[in-house]
Structure 1
Amino acid sequence: MADQVDALVDELYAMITPLEEQGLLDEQFTVNYEMKPDDGSMHFIELVQSFHNNIQRAMTDLAIALEHPSVNYTDIREHHAKIKRIVSSFGASALNLPLEVLRLGVASSSKEECDFALLRIHQEYHKLRPHLDTIIELERRIVDLDHNLRGPGEN
């Protein structure tokens, strides 16, 4: 069964590498994966779920801020910084270009550019999400196999 775990881990890296080459993920994503505890925990799965929750909440907050009749670009700048932190700490480089568009929209106080950037952030996130879901499915299989290897009572 240890060979099966190794094969699944190899398969997971084989999924991540092309996503990095395409610019959807960066090396921080791999660092996050490699930092997971070697105790059979769901740490990495929880990290990805947390990313989904945080980025969706941040996009919603940004959308609400952009709906105000008089856009407060200081608030939008703060939303940009929050999303950028979420993206960079996770390694979701697919969102970097739309974040740059948002930064430029804030710099020029252009609601249209900020709206366009938010649309692009949504699009890039939704392009990335199925890949992350597939990685998580594979990680669940790895964790399940690892639990079977450890036996009852071990974590």
Structure 2
Amino acid sequence: MAAAAIRARLDYLVTSMFTTGMLDENFQQLRSMEENGTAALGYVTEMINLFIKDTKRILNDIAGLLNQPVVDYDIVDVLVRQLKGCSYSVGAKKVNLSCMHFHQFIESRSKEGCLMALALLTNEFCDVRDKFQTMMQLEQQIAACGPK
């Protein structure tokens, strides 16, 4: 497939992620930094990979805490705040919003609510992770086609 066709698929994917509210302007700022040369080539990919790695770890840690007979909501709160920061840094808007929703259940000390919020947060993360991975694959295909 020609680079132009792959680029069109990539542009459509990114546009649809913005349209559906999956991403916010922070992601566009990351891409602009790389395109303008204020960030190293591959910076966006590195940030996305860190987001995916850190989020998987944090979600596993939260799940482990919520499966304890007595939940330490203070630690859960710290982890959700870390996850909120990770999602903010890459512009993962729906993940960020899910973190804010999660806080309501942490504040009310509702284990059932936290488990429900964790399920929603995990779903939002999986959606954005899958789209990010597709995006990175398309970018690799474009790079394999050679210079513009």
TM-score (norm 2): 0.84
Q: 1:26-37 alignment to 2 at 5 Å?
A: 26-36=24-34
Instruction: Name the residue aligned to 2:70.
Output: 70
Q: Contact 2:10 / 2:138 at 8 angstroms: preserved in 1?
A: yes
TM-score (norm 1): 0.80
Instruction: Name the residue aligned to 2:136.
Output: 136
Name the CA distance, whole Å, in 1 between partners of 2:40 and 2:10: 16
Name the CA distance, whole Å, in 2 between partners of 1:17 and 1:41: 21
Name the CA distance, whole Å, in 1 between partners of 2:89 and 2:43: 15
Q: Contact 1:41 / 1:143 at 8 angstroms: preserved in 2?
A: no
Instruction: Name the residue aligned to 1:107.
Output: 107
Q: Choose 1 or 2 for highest CA Rg.
A: 1
**Does residue 12 of structure 2 align to residue 18 of structure 1?**
no
Name the CA distance, whole Å, in 2 between partners of 1:14 and 1:87: 22
Q: Contact 1:71 / 1:111 at 8 angstroms: preserved in 2?
A: yes
Identity within the alignment, %: 26
Q: Cα RMSD between the aligned structures?
A: 2.4
Q: 1:141 to 1:49 in 2, by over 3 A?
A: same
Deviation sequence 1:111-146 (CA, Å, 0-9, x none):
11111111111111122222112211111123334x
Instruction: Name the residue aligned to 1:153.
Output: none
Letter in 2 for 1:46: E
Q: More deviation in 80-89 or 126-135?
A: 126-135
Q: 1:20 to 1:10 in 2, by over 3 A?
A: same
Unpaired segments of 5 or more residues in structure 1?
A: 151-155
Deviation sequence 1:6-52 (CA, Å, 0-9, x none):
77555433321221111111111111122126598333222221111
